[in-house]
Chains A and B, each alone.
Chain A
């Protein structure tokens, strides 16, 4: 657990948040209170912060979708983003690799740092950024080509042409995504012929093939059966050693099972974040508690 620095930051973010309005007075009263013992325990094995969002305000046209969201993400941890539909989880995730740039009329304020570098400064190349921050989408989106070519797509973009090298990457990535055994004889077949769950794991493998530092996953299991879901969760735990994973999920059990820290969003605001173990047993905000216990409107 690594909540010490994290909780302080979150705390600060909450109280400093400039957009906090009068109509949500409870927000100010209920800034996250982290369990002291937890925080102390976290201090010893906290990994450094790798991605940090600071005071992100995001607008779609004139509509504000994120309100001063600040979250630090620690290296080699799994962080879960939870919250009701439409609260801005996907939007926030897309801020972290600047996929929102592709959406017309979308404007982002604030900064996101990756290993200390602000990804929203002028000179940043989004191509470079997205190689380091990979993404798996909410809906599986395999390319209409062979399975092999799907996985080799990322490395090829980087100019790797050698078939043997590519082949190794393909196998390694497919094994990583627990898909190898199912498709190893059909690598030349179209990826569109795979089932929904296989397609999602293919997309995970495709993201792994580019060897990103940070992996963003937007509800990767929403279309999966329980067995595939377990496989993906297992996979995330394995990947945790090498990657930093940020996952959006509607599945509380999943968030509790796999994530180290959990952040709860509501209407574009970060309400609370902290160690998952604490969030799901003893949340400090009433709204968090209502949400995770299913008492939310």
Chain B
């Protein structure tokens, strides 16, 4: 083993290539190192820049909003007087609307994704639907507002209600959920599907016991991202005709509503400085809810991953 094999008789004896000592350096090597360092600095710089931009905006908002952020702000209805105005109806409105959105969009989105990814195969119809869903994800949100107005408010007669708002946002995020779920399903290795089938599992058993659990972290991420998106949307709801001044908590699906971003938008459009400040306070509330949703996503993903 230790001795080198003798060279074949008719081959010229190999000349060992000359190696440089490890500690030496050349201009070429230095250039490569320099490029590497530059790229690192570039990435670091960009990260820093975006962080500072965000921090700058946030600090401005916090400075303005914090003084108004108290219990009274959270538990009062909007008012003509900034000191008495609160965000209660918008907070409730947002939660109610998002519940409708989630109840509608999550099952429909996941179901459609499972159908397209696991059942439909590669036929014309599936490809047609697929292309359209990808396009829908890029449609400006205000168009969904027009659709909501025409379909839910007018045609189906749901009025400008929590139901209409939730469904409109549901349509808006549906393509996102479908695409994210499909992506997650695609990430499940085929070897596991085959392993399951080879043990005599039916298609549904394979999907439920193997594919969905493995894809779950990805699906959850998609869901939470799309719910966050729905939470921040203003334009389609205003287009659809959501109210901007609501002094009550919606009590059912058919009640009028307003949401956090609409309320913030409404306040920022007023000239008085105090309203700018409570708008900032409203933004803080909105951000807090969004961040907690994202934290929930991370937590759920972590829990699912650690179970494996």
Interface residues of A (CB under 8 A from B): 97, 99, 102, 104, 126-128, 130-131, 134-135, 137, 139, 141, 143-145, 153-154, 157-158, 190, 192, 203, 206-207, 210
Partner of B200, one of A128, A139, A145, A190: A128
Tell whether A206 pairs with B192 under 8 Å between CB atoms, given A145-B308, A190-B308: no
0/1 string, B170-203, CB within 8 A of A gives 1: 0000000000000000000101111111111110
Q: How many residues of B contact A (CB 8 A)?
A: 21
Bound-state Cα–Cα, A134 to B201, Å:
12
Tell whether A137 pairs with B199 under 8 Å between CB atoms, given A104-B121, A157-B205: no
Bound-state Cα–Cα, A126 to B193, Å:
14
Partner of B194, one of A102, A157, A210: A102
B32 partner residues in chain A, CB cutoff 8 A? none
B202 partner residues in chain A, CB cutoff 8 A? 127, 157
Q: Counting CB contacts under 8 A, is B209 at the interface? A: yes
B193 partner residues in chain A, CB cutoff 8 A? 102
| Best-buried of A99, A104, A144, A192 by chain B (most CB within 10 Å) | A144
Q: Counting CB contacts under 8 A, is B214 at the interface? A: yes
Can you give 28 contacting A-B residue pairs, CB < 8 Å? A97-B198, A99-B194, A102-B194, A104-B122, A126-B197, A127-B200, A128-B200, A130-B198, A130-B200, A131-B199, A131-B200, A135-B198, A137-B191, A137-B198, A139-B191, A143-B210, A144-B214, A144-B308, A153-B196, A153-B199, A153-B209, A154-B199, A157-B201, A158-B200, A203-B195, A206-B195, A207-B198, A207-B199
Bound-state Cα–Cα, A97 to B214, Å:
26
* Chain B interface mostly: helix
Nearest to A142 among chain B residues (CB) is B195
Please determine whether B200 and A157 come into contact, CB atoms closer than 8 angstroms.
yes
Please determine whether B308 and A127 come into contact, CB atoms closer than 8 angstroms.
no
Shortest Cβ distance from residue B112 to the other chain A in the assembled complex, whole angstroms: 21
Nearest to B189 among chain A residues (CB) is A141
A203 partner residues in chain B, CB cutoff 8 A? 195
Please determine whether A99 and B196 come into contact, CB atoms closer than 8 angstroms.
no
Shortest Cβ distance from residue B303 to the other chain A in the assembled complex, whole angstroms: 14
A130 partner residues in chain B, CB cutoff 8 A? 197-200
A154 partner residues in chain B, CB cutoff 8 A? 199-200
Shortest Cβ distance from residue A66 to the other chain B in the assembled complex, whole angstroms: 19
Nearest to A192 among chain B residues (CB) is B308
Shortest Cβ distance from residue B27 to the other chain A in the assembled complex, whole angstroms: 45
Bound-state Cα–Cα, A99 to B191, Å:
12
A157 partner residues in chain B, CB cutoff 8 A? 199-202, 205, 209
Bound-state Cα–Cα, A157 to B210, Å:
12
Please determine whether A127 and B191 come into contact, CB atoms closer than 8 angstroms.
no
B205 partner residues in chain A, CB cutoff 8 A? 157
A135 partner residues in chain B, CB cutoff 8 A? 198
0/1 string, B194-231, CB within 8 A of A gives 1: 11111111100100011001100000000000000000
Please determine whether B198 and A143 come into contact, CB atoms closer than 8 angstroms.
no
Bound-state Cα–Cα, A272 to B81, Å:
95
Please determine whether A141 and B200 come into contact, CB atoms closer than 8 angstroms.
no
Nearest to A129 among chain B residues (CB) is B200
Please determine whether A143 and B201 come into contact, CB atoms closer than 8 angstroms.
no
Bound-state Cα–Cα, A143 to B308, Å:
9
A97 partner residues in chain B, CB cutoff 8 A? 198
Shortest Cβ distance from residue B209 to the other chain A in the assembled complex, whole angstroms: 7
Partner of B192, one of A126, A134, A143: A143
